[in-house]
Amino acid sequence: MLCSCSSQPIVKVVTQTKTVYVLPPPDWIVLCSNPDFVGSTNIDLLKHSLTQTNALAMCNANMLRLQQWRLQHEHND
């Protein structure tokens, strides 16, 4: 009936959260290579320019962001 008079101490649990970044290996974030042009007409050149060059630019932009993110967090261990 008198639970508050117990001789056992009250134990408090304190939880701390620590963020641990798992970084991608440097081999996974290398820049994309520039594809060679294959074709013989101006239309072939236009198609190459519009598809390959834009895809390459987007790929490299993503890789640069990943490289910058990795550099920010690799020395915070």
Residue range 6-53, pLDDT digits in tens: 667 778 888 999 888 888 888 887 877 777 788 899 999 898 888 888
User: Would the pLDDT of 5 be above 70?
Assistant: no
Q: What global pTM score does this model have?
A: 0.49
Q: Is residue 35 part of a domain?
A: yes
Instruction: Name the domain count of the chain.
Output: 1
Q: Is residue 59 part of a domain?
A: yes
Q: Is residue 27 part of a domain?
A: yes
Phi, psi for 41 (deg, rounded to 5): -120, 170
The confidence score (pLDDT) of residue 6 equals 60
Q: Rounded to whole angstroms, what are the CA distances from 14 to 7, 10, 11, 17? A: 22, 13, 10, 10
> In 3D, which of 56, 57, 70, 58 has the Cα closest to residue 28?
70
Q: Is residue 40 part of a domain?
A: yes
User: Would the pLDDT of 3 be above 60?
Assistant: no
The domain of 70 spans 19-74
Q: Rounded to whole angstroms, what are the CA distances from 74 to 17, 18, 28? A: 19, 15, 15
Q: Is residue 6 part of a domain?
A: no
3-state secondary structure at position 1: coil
